Amino acid sequence: MKQKLVYLWIALLGALSLYLLWTVSDLQYSLKASEQKIERLLKEETEDHEEGEEHYELAVAMGRFQLYANKLWFSGIAGNAELSDFYAHELEEAMEEVAEQELTENGQSISEQIKIWGLEPLEKLEEAVDSGDKQAFEQSYDALVSSCNGCHVTCGYSWVRIKRPETPAFDNQWYTKN
């Protein structure tokens, strides 16, 4: 009987050991899976945070385009070549900034499109400003506006339509020459 009790204890200890090993193994597997999930979530959060830091707000840049184009128009029709040249240069810098961002929207490279639809027509407008030819200025300005609208269509923003300005964005600035 004593011997049966010893065997029973050994069997119980063996079963308990197997149970504990299985439980520990299961806990280790669960812990490893949890660690991997935490690492994945931290990586995703870091990537999202980095994207947030690098996010370039295209609408803000387009607002700058519109502001400079408005001032360019009113200084151009007032015959102020120096001020027109200034705003054409500011518009060019703003466009170049977008071109450098490597932006993609709706499957289109905005950065590449701005080179074609924005910088090329702006170059012709700058030439018209330099020539002092008011008619050439108006035609090249209209071509730039048309080009902006073409870019909007190409990039999936056909509902954003630009036109010649009718009112200065700021009425507290002299657009005429001194």
pLDDT tens digit at each of 178 positions of the chain: 777 777 777 777 777 677 767 776 776 776 577 667 767 777 776 665 555 445 788 899 999 999 999 999 999 999 999 999 999 999 999 999 999 988 888 888 888 989 999 999 999 999 999 999 999 999 999 999 999 999 999 989 999 999 999 999 888 999 998 8
Q: Look at residue 84 in the predicted model and tell me its pLDDT.
A: 94
Q: Give a yes or no: residue 174 inside a domain.
A: no
Does 117 lie in the same domain as 139?
Answer: yes
Does 72 lie in the same domain as 51?
Answer: no
Q: What is the CATH number of the domain that holds 75?
A: 1.20.120
Q: Which helix (H) or strand (E) holds 105?
A: strand 104-105
**Dihedrals phi, psi of 108, to nearest 5 degrees:** -115, 140
Question: pTM here?
Answer: 0.68
Domain range spanning residue 39?
Answer: 1-55
Q: How many domains does the chain have?
A: 2
Q: Give a yes or no: residue 164 inside a domain.
A: no
Q: Of 104, 99, 147, 97, give the one whose Cα is nearest residue 122.
A: 147
Does 79 lie in the same domain as 143?
Answer: yes
Does 71 lie in the same domain as 136?
Answer: yes
Does 98 lie in the same domain as 84?
Answer: yes
**DSSP string of 45-78?**
HHHHHHHHHH---HHHHHHHHHHHHHHHHHHHHT
Domain boundary among 38, 55, 72: 55
Does 67 lie in the same domain as 144?
Answer: yes
Does 89 lie in the same domain as 36?
Answer: no
**Dihedrals phi, psi of 117, to nearest 5 degrees:** -80, -20
Q: Look at residue 78 in the predicted model and tell me its pLDDT.
A: 94
Q: Which helix (H) or strand (E) holds 112?
A: helix 110-114
Domain boundary among 10, 38, 55: 55
Does 66 lie in the same domain as 51?
Answer: no
Q: Look at residue 11 in the predicted model and tell me its pLDDT.
A: 73
Q: Look at residue 22 in the predicted model and tell me its pLDDT.
A: 76
